[in-house]
Every structure is written in structure tokens, then in C-alpha cells.
Chains A and B, each alone.
Chain A
Amino acid sequence: MGSIFRLPQNLSLKSRVALAMATVLIVGGVVVLVAALAYGRQAAREAYDRLLVGAASDIAESITIRNGAALVDMPVSAFELLALAPDDRIVYRVLDDDGRTLTGYENTPLPRKSGETTFYDSEFGGEAARYVSLTRRFAERSFSGSVQVIVGQTLRARQQLARDIAQNALLVLGAAGAAMALFAWLVMQSALRPLPRIGEALRKRDPTDLTPIDLAAPSEIGSLIASLNGFMARLDRQMQSNRHLIGDAAHQLRTPVAAIRAHAQLALEEPDTERRSRMVKRIHDRAVGLSHLLDQMLNHAMIIHRADTAPRDLVDLRNVAVEAFEANEPAILAPSNVVALDLPDDPVTVRGDSLSLAEAAKNLLGNALSHGQPPVRIGVRDGVQAELWVRDAGEGPPETIRTDPATRFAGDRTNGGSGLGLAIAQAVATVHDGSIRMSADDDGFEAAMVLPKECS
């Protein structure tokens, strides 16, 4: 329908349904009306044709043979039958084999077809009329042959009956249409009730409340609510990461910046060149650490934002592991930091953002290198779920970190770690519908990013 009539986009649902209903009712009404008229005509024709045949048979029955000729003792019943169509004119004619009129109207038209009982339309004195022709055969000693009885009647009663039938049909149709419209309106009212309810719930909400809407709703509106909830969850995550960024920046940067300032002050006042250059070195070290911290904080925020917004592609986890492995190469080059790569032969595919995943993997590997005991291994495992794991021979982090890997700045930062690595990995795993699993056994400690597998 939309292709035929261009409806305004903002037309209300009620108006749309009303328009559709009206169209259906009008089209249906026209169809039913045409059908009712045709049916009425048909019914009237059949009813009054029977009357005609009845009268004609009455007349045929009343024919007797006397002195070798057919004699019609015209029965009153035949005419009383025809008078059931009270306002119609009657025409009749009885003919013998030779076409001579025995009695009745001389110029009554004859049927064009021959047959025992034939109906036909013709006219009578300028008015349309319906005729029936009936043949009765006689085989008597004095008379052998057939007598034809023709009875006709004008059409007033038929037309009246047809009109009545159509009119009644139209009345019923009108009533049904009104009832349907009423029901449609009621159904519409009840179907649309959830919408204002949801609108009301949203309006009453606290501006900062981004928790999911929990309202029972029909499935069509349910998908709308689900999308809305997803949207709000994304918004919530981003707001949270923004808050973290600001909070972390405020908290984490203040101390090092203050320390650098203090050192710089001391260096300014230090007359001794050698000691001053030692101080400058310390300032440089601190600045490097600060910039590393800043990188990670921005990374964390960027990764969370990206994981939410970047398009999801099919990603082979082996490539992710290789990228993390290669990115750590400077650290790996040091002999104490030998990292082993352990990959399966077949691709392990997940759906996600390769950049975020690589960042998470780098952080896991970085954590193992900085906090764990060599040898460190990175690898991919293909099981019920896809796993990217990093193993070292150490005992792993303390219990508090294991239970809540999202905790930031919990780690020991003595060897230059920012304390954000695990939190970033955790955030990435979460937006990819996965998790971080940490386990320790006799061989050492393993941190794995567990992700749902994508069947390619």
C-alpha cells in the first residue's frame, strides 16, 4: 500500500490503522455489495422462476382432450400463484402442435430454444418480462401431440426482492463494518498502551540513571527496548571510562607531576654539576614513567571506546597472538625474557576488533614479562571457546587482583607497570562477550582471555 499512497512518515499509528481499516472496509464493502446485488438478482430470479413454472404446470395439468381438441380449464390457482407478485402483469398462451393459439395472448413471444421447460427473457407490452415455456404431450385415441404452455410475468416483484436482499445485505455489512471499526479502535488502543507507558517510565527516570529499562512489553516493542537498553549500556560504559580517565588522571598524575616539579626545583638550585645531571636523569626517568602511564590510561579509555564502537570483523586469534608477540620484541630480546609462541595449526576465529584484542594481548604479555617468572609463553587454544593465553612460571598476582582483574592500579608498580594492563584486557574481553580467566598450578600461572568462538 505504501508504494501506492505515500503516507507522511509522522502519520500516527492510529491514523495508519484507521486508513487501512477504511480502505479494507470500503473495498470489501464494494465487493460485498456487488456480490449481494448479484446474489439478490439470482435469488429473486430463482424464486419467481419457480412461481412461473408452478403456474405453467398448473395450466398444463388442467388441459383435457375433448372431441379431439385440447381444452384448457384455466385453473384459478395458477393465477393466484402468479398474483404472489402482486404488481406484475401476467401474460400466457397455450398453443397446439401447429402453433395455433388455443387460448391466451396471441402475440406472446415464443422461446428461441426448444425444450421441455425453457426460461427466456423477452418483453410484454413495452415492459421487460420473464417467460417459461412448458410442453405437455398427449397420446390419446382422439388426440396425439403436444401442447405448449407459455407463462410470462413482468419483473417488478423480482426487482423489488433483489433490491430488498441487497439492501439487507448492505445493512448487515454496514453494521459489521461499524463493529469492525469499533473493535479495531479498541484493539489499537490496547496494542499501543505499552508505548506511552515506556515513554512515561523514561520521562520519570533520573538523568544519570542508565540502568536497563525493565518493563514487560510485546515482542515488537521489546526489541525497541532491548536496543534502547544496549544503547544505554554503551553510553554507561563510555561515561564510566570517561570518569575513570578523568579520575585516574587526577589521581595518578598529580603525585608524579608534583615529584618531577620538586626534583626540577632541586635541580635548579643545585650548583654541583654532577649531582644536577644525576637529578636531571631522575627527572627524565620519572617523565618516561609518567608518559608510559599516560599512554596506558589513554589506551584504556581508547580501547573501551573502540571496542564499543568499532565494527566487528572476523579475527584469527593466532594473528593477535603473533602481533602481541612481535610488539614485545624489544623486551623479548633481553635474554631473561625469552617468550615462546605456541599456536595451533588451524585458525581460531572470533568476531571482534583486532586492534582492541591485540592491545589486550599485549597487556597480558606485558604483565607476565614484568611481574611473572620466565619462561613466558603466549599461545592460542581452540576448545569450546577460543582462548588466548599467557603463561609464566611464577605464582601469579595476589588473590585480590585475581578475583577482580578490572581493578586498576592494584599491581605492584615497582618495575614500571602502569597497573592498567589487566583492567584493559578485562574491559576488552567484556565488550567481546568474553572474560579473563586466571589460574595457577604447579607449572606456574596462566592468564587467558576467553572469547566466544565464531564459526567461519
Chain B
Amino acid sequence: MIRLLFLALIVLLPIGAAAQELTGSFGPNEARQKLTIRSTTDLEVMGPVVESYLFGRPDLRIDYEQWGSNDLYELTASDCKRDLAGAGIVISSAVHQMVRLVNDGCAKTYRSAMTAALPDQLRWRDQLWGISREPAVIVYNRKLVPAGEVPRSRFDLLDLLRPEDSRYRGRVATYDIETSGLGYLLAFADSLEASTFGGLMESFGRSGAVATCCSAEIIDAVIEGRFLLAYNVLGSYALARAQNENRLGVVAPKDYTLILSRGAMIPKNNRATGEASAFLEFLLSAAGRASLEEALLLVRLDEDEGALLESPDDTQTIQRPIALSPALLIALDRHKRGLFRERWRAAFPISP
């Protein structure tokens, strides 16, 4: 059933020039239509979505490239500057970078009933669209964290970290904002959202929390018990692991839960606009949404039965979507970034 003809998994070492982490090709090689997708989403996660799209489209070939968010931003920006065709569609979780690309005039305008139906927060200038819905969550090790101590909110987390002899000292992790564009975005969104973030950073600093890279590593470390808790992990990755790993608990904080929507845009020099917009239409359609939900890229906070995500009863008021608006430009401001990094480094000094 699945028309997966060819799947190449090439792990490239990040040496020198930016390069994709993984590529995969779907559909027949000799297909007349071709679409290149560049995305920060793991090939493993996005693959099934692409396959379900290709179902019933025999003359389309999709090349999927998985990128780190900063590399993807730089590549797309340079394609834009040098008027290269680049990818057919770019999908990134670092939406501040996507906003910047659109602001710099690197995107193509596309409008349809489907895109118009998106809420304002998930649409900017008809050039950038939010396609997924992923909460930023707290993950914990079910075995090592007693049920009574599981932090339901940032205040709980602060309380856990406060005691001098807390056993959570040095065993709480979060994204390193310097290596992860997504980590920076979530931290930045936190800093805008509430004053708790300052206290949390300070608390992280005092308790020797660890900033490290990459969702997979952080989640693995929590499962293995090297970390007891991890803060601001992207829910889609956490839930994907929690499906077959009962040691992993996932909590949507009840003070507020950031909701990230991966941004999709069509680069302005793209020549396969038809294919790109058709894929976008699919992602926004009911079939596409079902497929995204399957891939855990669309997470409902209010799911009742067998929910892996532990969320409070009232899910409406806690959701804080990261709006696709020009206000995100500020996240990329040189001075702002410097100041933010300074504060961050005060809490997470570079380990020798």
C-alpha cells in the first residue's frame, strides 16, 4: 500500500558547510512532478504524512530533506538572496526564523479557502501558515519522580528546585538555546509570556540544571534516569516516545502551555508552486490533519481516553499559541539576542 520506493538514510556529520541531516525520497523516480520539502521535522515523523499524501498521486515524487533549524534558515535566506529556486516548500518549527524570512520578502503569496480558514494567529500575509499544533511540555521519569512530586506548573517546578538539598539539583534539563533554534524560540516565548521565566532561569542556575541539545537526547536521558525532569520539550517528540515507553510522563503545564505551530512557506523563487500549494492544501485538509494527528504533530490537549498527555481540566485558558506575527522578529534582533543569551548564560554557564 505504501508507495515508499526509496528511502535513503544518510547521516551526515555536521562538518563545514551546512548540510541536511537526513534525506528521503518518496514516489517514483521518473515522476513528472517533483517537490522538495525542507523541514526541521524528523523524517521519521513526517514520512508517514508524506506517504499518505502521495497515496493516489502516482506521478509525483517528493524529496524530503531534514534540516537543523538554523541551517535551514540560513540556506533559505541565502537561496532568497541569490534568487535560487531552493525548496518547493519549507517547514520549520523555528517560526521566528520563518517570520523573518517572510518579512525579508522571501515567500510567495498563496490564498485559498483553506488558508483563509486558519485563525489569524496561524497565518501571516498569506505567506506563512501554521500547520501543526504542538504543546511545549514538561517530561519526567515516572519511575523516579513520585506521583505527588510531578510538577503540574512552573510554580511546582520552582518549588521542587528551591530546597538546598533537593534531589532534582543537577537533574533537570532543557534545550540549549544556542544550539537549538526551537529551544531559543520556546525560551523567548516564555520570557514574553510571564514573569515566572526570570525566576525559573535563576532557579535553573542555582540548582545546576543542564542545557543540552536536541529533543531525542533529552528524552532518552529522562527515560534512562540521568535526568528526572526536562522542561520545555516539544510535545510531539515526547508523546511519540511515550507511546512505547511507560517510564516517560508528559505534562502540559497548567499555568500556561505554549503551543507551537510549525510554519510552512513557499519560497518566492520556487518553480513548483502548484505542487507546493497542493501539499499545503493537503496539510490543512481533513485528511492531512488526520495524518498529522497520527504523526502526533497535531496534539489535542483535551483528548480524554488513554491520553498520554497529562493536562488540566480546563485546557482552553492555558493555551498560548505562538502567533505568527512580525512581533517574532524581535527574537532575531542582534542586541535582544545578545541580552537574552547573557541572561541565559548566567543560569547555564558553559561547562568546561
- Residues of A whose CB lies within 8 Å of any CB of B are 71-74, 76, 79-80, 82-83, 86-91, 94, 102-104, 124-127
Whether A103 lies near B325 (C-beta < 8 A) is no
Measured CA separation A88–B124 after assembly (Å): 9
Please give, as numbers and ranges, the residues of chain A lying within 8 Å of B329 by CB-CB distance.
79, 90
Chain B interface SS verdict (over half)? helix
Is residue B245 contacting chain A, with contact meaning CB distance below 8 A?
A: no
Shortest Cβ gap from A330 to chain B (Å)? 115
Please give, as numbers and ranges, the residues of chain A lying within 8 Å of B102 by CB-CB distance.
89
Please give, as numbers and ranges, the residues of chain A lying within 8 Å of B336 by CB-CB distance.
72-74, 103
Measured CA separation A279–B333 after assembly (Å): 145
Whether A79 lies near B339 (C-beta < 8 A) is no
Contact of A79 (CB < 8 Å), options: B104, B125, B327: B327
Is residue B330 contacting chain A, with contact meaning CB distance below 8 A?
A: yes
**Number of A-B residue pairs with CB-CB distance less than 8 Å in the complex they form:** 55
Q: Closest residue of chain B to A88, judged by CB?
A: B326
Shortest Cβ gap from B346 to chain A (Å)? 15
Measured CA separation A80–B325 after assembly (Å): 9
Scoring B residues 123 to 136 as 1 if CB is less than 8 Å from chain A, else 0, what string do you get? 01110000000000
Measured CA separation A170–B102 after assembly (Å): 35
Is residue B24 contacting chain A, with contact meaning CB distance below 8 A?
A: no
Contact of A90 (CB < 8 Å), options: B126, B192, B326: B326
Whether B124 lies near A125 (C-beta < 8 A) is no
- Residues of B whose CB lies within 8 Å of any CB of A are 102-105, 120, 124-126, 192, 325-327, 329-330, 333-336, 339
Which are the 6 A-B pairs with shortest beta-carbon distances?
A: A125-B105, A79-B327, A103-B334, A74-B336, A72-B335, A103-B335
Q: Closest residue of chain A to B188, judged by CB?
A: A76
Please give, as numbers and ranges, the residues of chain B lying within 8 Å of A125 by CB-CB distance.
104-105
Measured CA separation A147–B83 after assembly (Å): 34
Please give, as numbers and ranges, the residues of chain A lying within 8 Å of B333 by CB-CB distance.
72, 74, 103-104
Please give, as numbers and ranges, the residues of chain A lying within 8 Å of B105 by CB-CB distance.
89, 124-127
Shortest Cβ gap from B138 to chain A (Å)? 25
Measured CA separation A87–B325 after assembly (Å): 9
A102-B335 CB under 8 A given contacts A83-B325, A89-B105: yes
Measured CA separation A94–B327 after assembly (Å): 17
Whether B104 lies near A82 (C-beta < 8 A) is no
A87-B192 CB under 8 A given contacts A73-B336, A74-B335: no
Whether B339 lies near A71 (C-beta < 8 A) is yes
Measured CA separation A102–B329 after assembly (Å): 16
Please give, as numbers and ranges, the residues of chain A lying within 8 Å of B126 by CB-CB distance.
87
12 A–B contacts from the bound complex (CB under 8 Å): A73-B336, A74-B336, A76-B330, A79-B329, A80-B327, A82-B326, A83-B327, A89-B104, A102-B334, A103-B333, A103-B336, A104-B334
Please give, as numbers and ranges, the residues of chain B lying within 8 Å of A88 by CB-CB distance.
326
Shortest Cβ gap from B343 to chain A (Å)? 11
Measured CA separation A126–B339 after assembly (Å): 32
Q: Closest residue of chain B to A81, judged by CB?
A: B327
Shortest Cβ gap from B335 to chain A (Å)? 4
Please give, as numbers and ranges, the residues of chain B lying within 8 Å of A83 by CB-CB distance.
325-327
Whether A89 lies near B125 (C-beta < 8 A) is yes
Shortest Cβ gap from B344 to chain A (Å)? 15
Whether B326 lies near A79 (C-beta < 8 A) is yes
A74-B326 CB under 8 A given contacts A86-B120, A90-B103: no
Shortest Cβ gap from B193 to chain A (Å)? 11
Please give, as numbers and ranges, the residues of chain B lying within 8 Å of A124 by CB-CB distance.
105
Measured CA separation A91–B326 after assembly (Å): 10
Whether B330 lies near A79 (C-beta < 8 A) is yes
Measured CA separation A76–B103 after assembly (Å): 16
A73-B335 CB under 8 A given contacts A86-B120, A87-B124: yes
Shortest Cβ gap from A32 to chain B (Å)? 33
A73-B327 CB under 8 A given contacts A89-B125, A90-B103, A125-B105: no
Shortest Cβ gap from A228 to chain B (Å)? 71
By CB atoms of chain A within 10 A, which of B102, B126, B192, B325 has the most? Answer: B325
Contact of A89 (CB < 8 Å), options: B103, B327, B330, B334: B103
Please give, as numbers and ranges, the residues of chain B lying within 8 Å of A72 by CB-CB distance.
333, 335-336
Please give, as numbers and ranges, the residues of chain A lying within 8 Å of B335 by CB-CB distance.
71-74, 94, 102-103
Measured CA separation A126–B105 after assembly (Å): 8
Please give, as numbers and ranges, the residues of chain A lying within 8 Å of B124 by CB-CB distance.
86-87
Q: Closest residue of chain B to A85, judged by CB?
A: B326
Given contacts A71-B335, A79-B330, A103-B335, 9 further A-B contacts (CB under 8 A): A72-B335, A76-B192, A82-B326, A83-B326, A87-B126, A88-B326, A89-B105, A91-B103, A103-B336
Shortest Cβ gap from A60 to chain B (Å)? 13
Q: Closest residue of chain B to A94, judged by CB?
A: B335
Whether B104 lies near A76 (C-beta < 8 A) is no
Shortest Cβ gap from B103 to chain A (Å)? 5
Please give, as numbers and ranges, the residues of chain B lying within 8 Å of A73 by CB-CB distance.
335-336, 339
Shortest Cβ gap from A365 to chain B (Å)? 108
Measured CA separation A80–B326 after assembly (Å): 8
Please give, as numbers and ranges, the residues of chain A lying within 8 Å of B325 by CB-CB distance.
83, 86
Measured CA separation A73–B105 after assembly (Å): 25
Please give, as numbers and ranges, the residues of chain B lying within 8 Å of A82 by CB-CB distance.
326
Whether A76 lies near B327 (C-beta < 8 A) is yes
Measured CA separation A103–B339 after assembly (Å): 12
Measured CA separation A103–B334 after assembly (Å): 6
Measured CA separation A37–B102 after assembly (Å): 30
Please give, as numbers and ranges, the residues of chain B lying within 8 Å of A104 by CB-CB distance.
333-334
Measured CA separation A25–B336 after assembly (Å): 57
Shortest Cβ gap from A108 to chain B (Å)? 12
